[in-house]
């Protein structure tokens, strides 16, 4: 199995409701997700990320297109395709009267996991809820609820785990715990798909990234190639005091930073740092210190989702 998920021509239009007009949330998405990868689905608010994920999860009906999960066409083999995927939703929706243990048992029942194959205790342990196993869900903190949602997504041992904004608004401890769990599961072979708007997180966690905007995939690349897309580096110089902005080789531009340093942005494909530094020395500009800045995913993201 090379692709965990294959999506072709996926469209979703939410019907008009009251005063709200119909909304075309996905406008023909094609996407393959390699088995065994950690795949990041990024995009601004309203881009269509949750819609896509909820279609994968079988929670939202698509308007058109084809979705194949772990080799099973969602329309032909709905049961098998659903069994291959576990979803940790963005919303904290849970029954306040169930204990974590009961929640996991009910969820396992929904997925038809036989009693002998359940791994409730291990799951509670995995997400650090052993001590709260028998507490009412309404007594759990927000972080504990999220951990329970992760455990629920795993009851049927899916091949693919989908996390929709798993770290939005969670504290650093929980975030680290989530990521170490995700890495552990991925090391064991699980394919991970996540949405996040923390770009630094995506940069560190994901092998491959798709950026979606207005219901369309604007780019899909492995993370390293995506980061090398923006042809811009910046030299930041301490000139020891105000200087007249010099004439620079074509392609480079200078800007004074609020802290007084001089920032020179240039395309490394066409200019070398030593050419720039020569030009500056030639103009009599003192260089007391130099730092360099590389573009990060944030820059790529802004460039690609600019309207």
Q: Is there binding between residue 2 and ligand ADP (CB under 6 A)?
A: no
Q: Give kind and range of the element (H or E) at residue 75.
A: none
262 binds, options ligand ADP, Mg ion, none, Cβ within 5 to 8 A by partner type: none
Task: Name which of 88 and 262 has its Cβ closer to Mg ion.
Answer: 88
Task: Name which of 126 and 192 has its Cβ closer to Mg ion.
Answer: 192
Angstrom distances, CA of residue 104 to CA of 32, 157, 161, 282:
31, 12, 16, 70
Q: How far apart are CA 249 and CA 266, in angstroms?
A: 9
Give every strand in the sheet of 64-69, ordered side by side. Answer: 23-34, 3-14, 64-69, 72-73
Binding region for ligand ADP (CB under 6 A) out of 45-53, 67-75, 240-248, 272-280: 45-53
CB of 33 to ligand ADP, least distance (A): 17
Among 47, 113, 123, 285, binds ligand ADP (CB under 6 A): 47
11 binds, options Mg ion, ligand ADP, none, Cβ within 5 to 8 A by partner type: none
CB of 49 to Mg ion, least distance (A): 5
Question: Phi and psi at residue 236, in whole multiples of 5°?
Answer: -115, 120
Contact 57, 162 (CB under 8 A): yes
Interface positions, 7-36, toward ligand ADP (CB under 6 A)? 14, 23, 25
Strand, helix or coil at 181?
helix
Task: Name which of 43 and 295 has its Cβ closer to ligand ADP.
Answer: 43
User: What burial letters (b/e) apply to 116-126, b meaning 16+ CB within 10 Å?
Assistant: eebbbeebbeb
Q: Is there binding between residue 45 and ligand ADP (CB under 6 A)?
A: yes
Q: Which residue has its beta carbon closest to Mg ion?
A: 50
Task: Name which of 9 and 240 has its Cβ closer to ligand ADP.
Answer: 9
Residues that bind Mg ion (CB under 5 A): 49-50
Nearest-CA neighbor of 165 among 262, 63, 92? 92
What distance, in Å, lies between the first and last C-alpha atoms of the chain? 38
Contacts with ligand ADP by CB under 6 A lie at 14, 23, 25, 43, 45-51
């Amino acid at each position: 199995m090379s692709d965990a998920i294959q999506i072709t021509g996926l469209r979703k239009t939410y019907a008009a409701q009251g005063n709200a007009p119909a909304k075309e949330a996905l406008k023909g998405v094609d996407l393959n997700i390699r088995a065994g990868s950690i795949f990041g689905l990024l995009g601004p608010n309203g881009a269509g990320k949750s819609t896509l994920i909820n279609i994968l999860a079988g929670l939202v009906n698509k308007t058109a297109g084809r979705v194949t999960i772990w080799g099973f066409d969602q329309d032909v083999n709905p049961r098998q395709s659903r069994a291959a995927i576990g979803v940790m939703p963005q919303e904290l929706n849970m029954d306040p009267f169930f204990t974590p243990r009961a929640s996991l048992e009910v969820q396992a029942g929904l997925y038809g996991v036989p009693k002998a194959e359940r791994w409730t205790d291990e799951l509670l342990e995995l997400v650090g809820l052993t001590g709260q196993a028998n507490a009412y869900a309404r007594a759990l903190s927000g972080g504990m609820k999220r951990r329970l949602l992760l455990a629920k997504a795993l009851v049927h041992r899916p091949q693919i785990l989908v996390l929709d904004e798993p770290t939005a608004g969670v504290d650093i401890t929980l975030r680290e715990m989530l990521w170490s769990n995700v890495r552990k599961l991925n090391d064991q072979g699980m394919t991970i798909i996540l949405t996040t708007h923390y770009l630094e997180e995506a940069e560190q966690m994901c092998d491959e990234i798709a950026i979606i905007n207005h219901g369309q995939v604007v780019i899909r690349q492995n993370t390293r190639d995506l980061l090398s897309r923006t042809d811009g580096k910046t030299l930041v110089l301490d000139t020891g005091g105000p200087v007249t902005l010099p004439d620079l080789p074509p392609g480079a531009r200078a800007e004074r930073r609020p802290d007084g340093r001089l920032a020179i942005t240039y395309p490394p494909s066409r200019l070398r740092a030593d050419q720039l530094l020569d030009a500056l020395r030639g103009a009599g500009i003192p260089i007391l210190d130099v730092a360099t800045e590389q573009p990060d995913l944030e820059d790529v993201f802004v460039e690609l989702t600019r309207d």
